[in-house]
Chain A
């Protein structure tokens, strides 16, 4: 029962371009988080946005949240080769202390 679904499943862009990934979820949430995973590694937390926030920035990352549409987007500006990874959204939606992950977007940055 996945709460979040990312779109697109895969994205390939030229270095220096911006990358946008989207996440949709099904039920009301406490917060939404974005994580990065390099191949064969654990997940690294990127940014958390709470349900009462609409936009958040961290370096080259910009996250938006639209609770009326139950969707979020992650924008990576001025992409670099090191940004090549899978990106997951995760929703914290209950008091049960669980986080549910989406299926991820595989981002490839071409030199």
Chain B
């Protein structure tokens, strides 16, 4: 899992509540990413950030928000507007301008009760 940590590993949320997933990296990477994975499916891009204080929507950004106030941190908030938030969330990073591999965190499994 490299130098990327995600917390918590498991998260439970009641319907209508916002919840924030943490992602921290000590790899000095500029670019960071959030993906959502549903059972038996591939990864879908939610948001990504290429530099501090800047981020772009991915393919499924609706109902999610992010911030990038520090290079090493890229928290993801799952808002009550996300209709089906139960999923496995993965964070990744890589050096900006690189076309090389991404490094992934261990993931957070979010369950809405």
Contact = CB atoms under 8 A, between A and B. Distances in A.
Interface of A: 1-2, 30-31, 33, 35, 40-45, 48, 50, 88, 90, 92, 96-104, 106
Contacts of A100: 45
Interface stretch (B12-20, B68-76, B79-87, B93-101): B93-101
A103 B45 CA distance: 13
B35 interface: yes
B56 to A, nearest CB: 8
Determine the interface band of chain B, counting residues with CB < 8 A from chain A. 20 to 34
Contacts of A45: 101-103
A88 B35 CA distance: 14
Contacts of A30: 99
Given A88-B43, A96-B56, 16 more contacts: A2-B44, A40-B107, A40-B109, A42-B1, A42-B90, A42-B105, A43-B43, A43-B92, A43-B104, A44-B104, A88-B42, A97-B97, A100-B45, A101-B42, A101-B43, A104-B42
B106 A42 contact: yes
B31 interface: yes
